Amino acid sequence: MEKRNNFMDLNQQNIRFFNFWAKFYGYGPLSWWLKNIQKHVVGNMRVPRASSVLDVGCGQGYFLHMLLQQGVRKLHGIDLSPAMIARARQTLGRHAVLKTASVHRIPFRDSTFDFVASTEAFHHFPSPKKSLRDMARVLKKGGALCIADINFYSGIIHWLFKKLEPGHVKIYSAQEFRKLFEQTGLRVVRQKRIGWFVILTIGRKV
């Protein structure tokens, strides 16, 4: 019960924080940096045009928009923040199915997607195991889960980040990601740093 209340508190903090940030999320150097990370993730994923893709914590839909520009048509996104989803609808129009929802309860059927991706959001998800379980659930057998999230090498910086950023849960190391993927039945096929501060992990559902 206490855990459930903690999760609800975290979700409320995230909704407040990202509803506020949504007003200026698309502007400034941080936005440029986030889009640059997304560009690298898209490059590493190599998504065939006929694939179906889900972006979890899709924010304003820029990642899905990059895939759209490459000719990928079966695009889907979920985000906890209604304001982010409203902006994503402006970015993507009728080209994507977008829903306000939590990673803990992804509103799609089992084995729906060829790719599930999440960029810069995992450190906000209340339970890493529950999140990965639901992302793996909606992935088809043989499909790929691609998670890119921040990591600054230093425990002190991670501690500071947790103190300062609302709705922050935890920054994970490469080893922790690998272990979480494996515990969820995902075989890690690639793991690398993007720039200095982001770890990308790609796993296949076996």
Ligand X SMILES: C[S@@+](CC[C@H](N)C(=O)[O-])C[C@H]1O[C@@H](n2cnc3c(N)ncnc32)[C@H](O)[C@@H]1O
Instruction: Name the residues that contact ligand X, by CB under 6 A.
Output: 11, 14, 18, 34, 38, 56-59, 63, 78-81, 84, 102-103, 119-121, 124-125
Distance of closest approach, residue 206 Cβ to ligand X, in angstroms: 25
CB 137 within 8 A of CB 106: yes
* Cβ closest to ligand X, residue 59 vs residue 143: 59
- Closest approach, Cβ 138 to ligand X, in A, equals 13
- Residue 3 or 141: which CB sits closer to ligand X? 3
Q: Which is nearer to ligand X, 50 or 90 (CB)?
A: 90
Give the residue with the Cβ less far from ligand X, 75 or 121: 121
Residue 51 or 118: the one with the smaller Cβ distance to ligand X is 118
The distance of closest approach from Cβ of residue 72 to ligand X in the complex, given in angstroms and rounded to an integer, is 16
Strand ranges, E, within the chain: 52-56, 74-79, 96-100, 113-119, 139-150, 186-194, 198-205
- In 3-state terms, what secondary structure has residue 128? helix
φ/ψ of 39, rounded to 5, equals -60, -45
CB 63 within 8 A of CB 38: yes
Residue 95 is classified by DSSP as G
For the CB of residue 23, give the shortest distance to ligand X in the complex, in Å.
13
We find the least distance from the C-beta atom of residue 38 to ligand X, in angstroms, to be 5
Cβ-closest position to ligand X: 59
Helices 82-92 & 2-21 angle (0-180, nearest 10): 50
| Closer residue to ligand X in complex, CB, 52/91 | 91
- Residue 57 dihedral angles phi and psi, to the nearest 5°: 75, 50
Q: How far is the CB of 112 from ligand X (least distance, A)?
A: 17
Q: Which residues contact 206 (CB under 8 A, 6 or more apart)?
A: 141, 142, 185, 186, 187
Query: Is 137 in contact with 166 (CB distance < 8 Å)?
Result: no
